[in-house]
């Protein structure tokens, strides 16, 4: 039976950088994937006015979701200024109810950017409220509490995954989706001399070395009262099974 996967990023390219290979794996295996973005990315370029940049980044995000096969959710809060207010928390509750997911993926609480950390906190705070009927939003309460996963930090810095996903079969989809964010890949190269496509290639190989495959993405399952499940919810590939078999029969 197919699952509903909700991934929530702070900026229009965060999910592509950190977990798009896994999201593409879910789509490939017949699950329904939703990609939500909290902010509009309007402050990210010094030479483009915010209003114009927000339009560009939304269009790039929607094109990226099309590459992955995911449904886009654009929340549109101003870039660099996200806060964990009650108004925004309830908007996150409503967004979660819209999807009614089986699991949620978002930033870890120790990520480098305040928008990332606030997105993480907003998701964490909204998840229990999404199933409470007397917390009123435009949509009815979700019918269960949901397992939460934190995705890798950019470059794998300060992140120790507890579960890894083999994305060897979907690394090219991940890179194609990220490439749709031309306004962001261009500014990183011009300002920082950083090739974001190389970042995902290098980090993917690094996580792959840790997990016995060519490319992987890392996650931490959040252990909390009545949120966890005894079974694995992250996707497994045929390569995972083959590697396990080789280990067992050596």
Mean pLDDT of all residues in 133-138: 96
Residue-level pLDDT at 239: 56
Total domains present in the chain: 1
- Check whether 242 has a pLDDT greater than 70: no
pLDDT band, very low/low/confident/very high, at 89 (cuts 50, 70, 90): very high
- Check whether 17 has a pLDDT greater than 80: yes
Strand, coil or helix: what is 248?
helix
pLDDT band, very low/low/confident/very high, at 144 (cuts 50, 70, 90): confident
Residue-level pLDDT at 232: 86
| Spatial contact of 75 and 123, defined as CB atoms under 8 Å apart | no
- Check whether 1 has a pLDDT greater than 90: no
Average pLDDT, rounded, for the chain: 92
The CATH number given to whatever domain includes residue 73 is 3.40.50.10320
| Spatial contact of 23 and 35, defined as CB atoms under 8 Å apart | yes
Cα distance between residue 185 and residue 17, in whole Å: 11
* Segments forming the whole domain that contains residue 184: 4-249
């Amino acid at each position: 039976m197919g699952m509903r996967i909700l991934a929530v990023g702070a900026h229009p390219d965060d999910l592509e950088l950190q977990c798009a290979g896994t999201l593409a794996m879910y789509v490939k295996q017949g699950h329904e994937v939703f990609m939500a973005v909290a902010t509009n990315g309007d402050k990210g370029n010094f030479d483009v006015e915010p209003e114009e940049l927000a339009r560009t980044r939304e269009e790039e995000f929607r094109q990226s979701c099309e590459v992955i096969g995911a449904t886009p959710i654009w929340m549109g809060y101003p870039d660099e200024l996200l806060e964990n207010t009650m108004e925004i928390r309830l908007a996150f509750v409503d967004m979660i109810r819209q999807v009614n997911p089986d699991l949620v993926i978002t930033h870890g609480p120790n990520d480098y950017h305040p928008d990332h950390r606030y997105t993480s906190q907003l998701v964490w705070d909204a998840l229990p409220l999404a199933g409470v009927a007397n917390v009123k939003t435009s949509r009815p309460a979700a019918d269960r509490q949901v397992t939460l996963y934190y995705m890798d930090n950019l470059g794998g810095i300060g992140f120790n995954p507890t579960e890894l996903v083999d994305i060897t079969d979907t690394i090219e989809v991940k890179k194609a989706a990220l490439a749709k964010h031309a306004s962001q890949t261009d500014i990183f190269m011009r300002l920082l001399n950083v090739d974001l496509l190389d970042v995902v290639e290098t980090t993917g190989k690094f996580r792959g070395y840790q997990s016995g495959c060519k490319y992987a993405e890392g996650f931490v399952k959040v252990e909390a009262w009545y949120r966890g499940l005894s079974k694995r919810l992250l996707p497994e590939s045929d390569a995972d099974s083959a590697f396990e078999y080789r280990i067992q029969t050596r």
